[in-house]
Amino acid sequence: MKEFIKTKKVTYNLMSFTAFKALVLFAELAQSPKSYKEICDIFYNHPYLREQISIDTLRVYINSLKRLGCEVKRVKGEDKESRYVITKHPFELKYTPEQLQSALKVFKSLVKNIDIEELVALEELFEKIGGFIKDEDFINEARKLSLIREIDRSILKDLIECCKNKDQIIITYDSPNSGEKKIEILADKIEISNNKIYLYGTGFEHKQYGIFLVNRIKKIDEIKIEKSMPEGIEETKVVYELFCPNAELESYEKIIEKTDDKIVIEALTSNTFLLRQRLLAYGPNCKIISPDCFKDEFIQLLKDMKAGYYCG
Amino acid sequence: MAKKTPEKCNESCIKMFEFLKKLYVGEVDFKWVINHFSDGKYDGTSNTHVTLNKYLNALKIFGIKIKKTNGKYRMLSPLYKMKFDLNDVKSINLLKKGCDLLPDGKNKSHCQEFINALEVRYDETAQSLIQVAETTQNLDLAFYHSEMVEQVKQCEKYCQDKQKLEIIFTDDKGNEINLLCSPVETVYQKRKIYLRVNSNSGSRIYEIPIDNIKSVHPIPSSVSGNTMPTTIVFRIKNRLAKNYKIRDWEKVQGFETDGSKIIVNKNEDFNILLNRLMRYGNQCEIISPKFIKDEMINLINKTLSNYQ
């Protein structure tokens, strides 16, 4: 071998030419159909072989490949010449149903833990594998488990890019209340919440931070070259106590006081509706301190909820 | 009828390809290789070593890299390759991390085989991307599980064993709860792992964060397959009715004239469900069962009591 590395000259002492020819033949026929003449030329022009091959020897090689499990077919092209081609071979990707099920189990455990970009890539990998093994059921099973099954993937990928660049975009949104309409947003992030995928961003129409269901976004109409912030955004500062010490905070929340049994949080937001929803979910573990208007609305909402149960 | 003569083959070629086939599945023991190439007649004195070297050299010159370490052959660059880009390689790494958390057993080994079958077919580009993928991975499951990997594996095992458990865990406020239950599965959500269990009666689902579990004692009684989880029915109104996305474990039972929807929910942890329904404010109302409706009213009253 050392001699070969030095001289690049192959001798019978160095390697098995039979094995080498079989490898060359396999690679050539797996790539595309080849006639006997074309195979002879390839062998003759090969830097290490430099000899032709008899038709009988070729048959022996082909029989060997067939015995191994290769599907070798003879096809005729437009030139009426007969060519050999390998259509299936034992080195292709193959899985047992158990292996596929185990992979799907791990896929299921990952889909709710990874970020949206990773989710798209993982789903595409499973589709690619499904394509290699020609198993539509496997692709469908993975899709069923995926959170992005109802979403146009190309729109999603574009939105991910827009969020990375914090682009100012105009989207066509199919609103359940007002039908299709154009919305201008400063894209911020895409996140999965309650098994749904949302685009977060500051809307120009309502001048507040909002969330938009990605499966309702029909298209991105425009990505503006220059960015601006909507004027006149009104932000509310809300202070509240949380009695569950392990609460996970959002980017607009900060801890201003911490004791053994509670944390005091200050949130600055332009969308009090979203904050109210968030605080409602804490139930008795949350008490709003200020501002009074927000607190009063919150109490009134709780009273309305209660009344709904007694009057409904 | 004349007997068909077997077609002439080259046995040594077949041997070499069979060796390659075995390398696609994993590492191959030297003993197996030398026996394979000597038709099981290797006695230490024959020249099978020389023959084997010639085959290995043929593979090497052809471009198939095979490495021998600790008496085992491993294929580094295969005969048949598949194209994978950076995202694919990253996703395969993610699968590996998820697979590492599985308890030892059939599931884990099947998953490892699944991943190995991909890695062994990496083309040159994919091989060169391995390092890049590792340094740019966003998800590091170890962030959360480095100290808990054993608990996670143990929980997976409880689910596999289908044995009843007595679990002591703490709730949000740190109160200890003692629960007799049947394990169902481990659930991964927002980078947290939960053990999903059925209450002893089978009517209530709990999703317990694994880091809240204080102790688990298996009970010598196996899980019954005939459990009937409680069905919760609730009404959603106004905007919410238009926007609401039905979960996989829910169905719409009916519509009302004002546009409200009646939703039937099964198999969701009651506490998680109640917190979720609280979010919807007065646009949502639990209809049945009565005890869940009462729990919801109690939750609203307790929240209101913060302001009295």
The pLDDT value given to residue A6: 63
Residue ranges covered by each domain of chain A: 2-88, 97-145, 166-223, 236-311
Q: Is the peptide bond before A291 cis (omega within 30 degrees of 0)?
A: yes
Q: Which two tokens stand for residue B271?
A: 């506490």
Q: Is A60 or B7 the better-scoring residue by pLDDT? A: A60
Residue-by-residue DSSP string for B91-119: HHHHHHHHHHTSPTTHHHHHHHHHHHHHH
Confidence of residue B4 (pLDDT cuts 50, 70, 90): low
pLDDT at B3 over 70: no
- Chain B nearest CA to A135, separation (Å): 15
For A305, which of B10, B60, B281 is closest by C-beta distance? Answer: B281
Q: Which two tokens stand for residue B298?
A: 């109690």
Q: Which two tokens stand for residue B169?
A: 């865990």
Which residues of chain A does B80 touch, with a Cβ-Cβ cutoff of 8 Å?
A: 30, 89, 91-92
A2-88 CATH, one of 1.10.10.10, 3.40.50.720, 3.40.50.300, 1.10.3720.10: 1.10.10.10
The pLDDT value given to residue B200: 77
- B 140-199 residues with CB < 8 A to A: 141, 172-174, 186-191
Tell whether B136 lies on the interface with A, counting CB pairs under 8 A: no
Q: Which residues contact B96 (CB under 8 A, 6 or more apart)?
A: B115
For A93, which of B82, B107, B279 is closest by C-beta distance? Answer: B82
What fold is seen in the domain A166-223? SH3 type barrels. (2.30.30)
Which residues of chain A does B173 touch, with a Cβ-Cβ cutoff of 8 Å?
A: 243-244, 285
The pLDDT value given to residue B50: 84
For B242, which of A22, A177, A312 is closest by C-beta distance? Answer: A177
Instruction: Report the residue of B4, B5, B9 to disrupt the A interface, i.e. the one with the largest count of A CBs within 10 Å.
Output: B9
Q: Which two tokens stand for residue A160?
A: 């991910």
Q: Is A114 or B293 the better-scoring residue by pLDDT? A: B293
Tell whether B302 lies on the interface with A, counting CB pairs under 8 A: yes
| pTM of the entire predicted model | 0.75
- Give the residue on B whose Cα is nearest the Cα of A174: B243
pLDDT tens for residues B69-109?
999 999 988 999 999 999 999 999 989 988 887 778 888 99
Q: Which two tokens stand for residue B68?
A: 């021998």
Q: Is A176 or A16 the better-scoring residue by pLDDT? A: A16
pLDDT tens for residues A157-200?
999 999 999 999 999 999 877 889 999 999 999 988 777 889 99
Fold matches, A2-88 and A236-311: no
pLDDT at B220 over 70: yes
pLDDT at A267 over 70: yes
Q: Which two tokens stand for residue A177?
A: 């209340």
Q: Which residues contact A122 (CB under 8 A, 6 or more apart)?
A: A107, A110, A111, A114, B91, B94, B95
What percent of chain A shows pLDDT beyond 70?
A: 95
pLDDT tens for residues B108-130?
999 999 999 999 999 888 888 88
pLDDT tens for residues B236-286?
998 888 888 888 889 999 898 988 999 999 888 888 899 999 999 999 999
CB contact under 8 A, B59 and A194: no
Which residues of chain A does B299 touch, with a Cβ-Cβ cutoff of 8 Å?
A: 283-284
Average pLDDT, chain B: 85
What percent of chain A shows pLDDT beyond 90?
A: 61
Q: Is A1 or A43 the better-scoring residue by pLDDT? A: A43
* SS3 labels along chain A: CHHHHHHCCCCCCCCCHHHHHHHHHHHHHHHCCECHHHHHHHHHHCCCCCCCCCHHHHHHHHHHHHHHCCEEEEEECCCCCEEEEEEECCCCCCCCHHHHHHHHHHHHHHHCCCCHHHHHHHHHHHHHHHHHCCCHHHHHHHHHHCCCCCCCHHHHHHHHHHHHHCCEEEEEEEECCCEEEEEEEEEEEEEEECCEEEEEEEECCCCEEEEEEHHHEEEEEEECCCCCCCCCCCCEEEEEEECCCCCCCCCCEEEEEECCCCEEEEEEECCHHHHHHHHHHCHHHEEEEECHHHHHHHHHHHHHHHHHHHHC
Average pLDDT, chain A: 89
CB contact under 8 A, B279 and A132: no
Confidence of residue A260 (pLDDT cuts 50, 70, 90): confident
pLDDT at B149 over 80: no
> Which residue in this structure is represented by tokens 């068909």?
B4
The pLDDT value given to residue B308: 84
Which residues of chain B does A110 touch, with a Cβ-Cβ cutoff of 8 Å?
A: 94-95, 98, 139, 188
Confidence of residue B143 (pLDDT cuts 50, 70, 90): very low
Q: What is the distance between the alpha carbons of residues A189 and A116, in angstroms, rounded to a whole number? A: 10
Segment among A107-116, A137-146, B217-226 with least mean pLDDT: B217-226
What fold is seen in the domain A236-311? Alpha-Beta Plaits (3.30.70)
Instruction: Report the residue of A4, A20, A42 to disrupt the B interface, i.e. the one with the largest count of B CBs within 10 Å.
Output: A20
Q: What is the distance between the alpha carbons of residues A221 and A201, in angstroms, rounded to a whole number? A: 16
What percent of chain B shows pLDDT beyond 70?
A: 90
Name the amino acid, one letter, at A216.
Answer: R
- Chain A nearest CA to B152, separation (Å): 12
For B114, which of A99, A305, A306 is closest by C-beta distance? Answer: A99
Tell whether B99 lies on the interface with A, counting CB pairs under 8 A: yes
Q: Which residues contact B288 (CB under 8 A, 6 or more apart)?
A: B232, B233
CB contact under 8 A, A305 and B172: no
- The DSSP symbol for B269 reads -
For A106, which of B51, B98, B302 is closest by C-beta distance? Answer: B98
Q: What is the distance between the alpha carbons of residues A118 and A137, in angstroms, rounded to a whole number? A: 22
Tell whether B72 lies on the interface with A, counting CB pairs under 8 A: no
Q: What is the distance between the alpha carbons of residues B248 and A195, in angstroms, rounded to a whole number? A: 9
Segment among A27-36, B31-40, B180-189 with least mean pLDDT: B180-189
- Give the residue on A whose Cα is nearest the Cα of B243: A176
Q: Which two tokens stand for residue B306?
A: 């913060």
What percent of chain B shows pLDDT beyond 90?
A: 38
- Give the residue on A whose Cα is nearest the Cα of B144: A113
CA distances A256 to A124, A261, A280, B57, Å, are: 43, 14, 21, 70
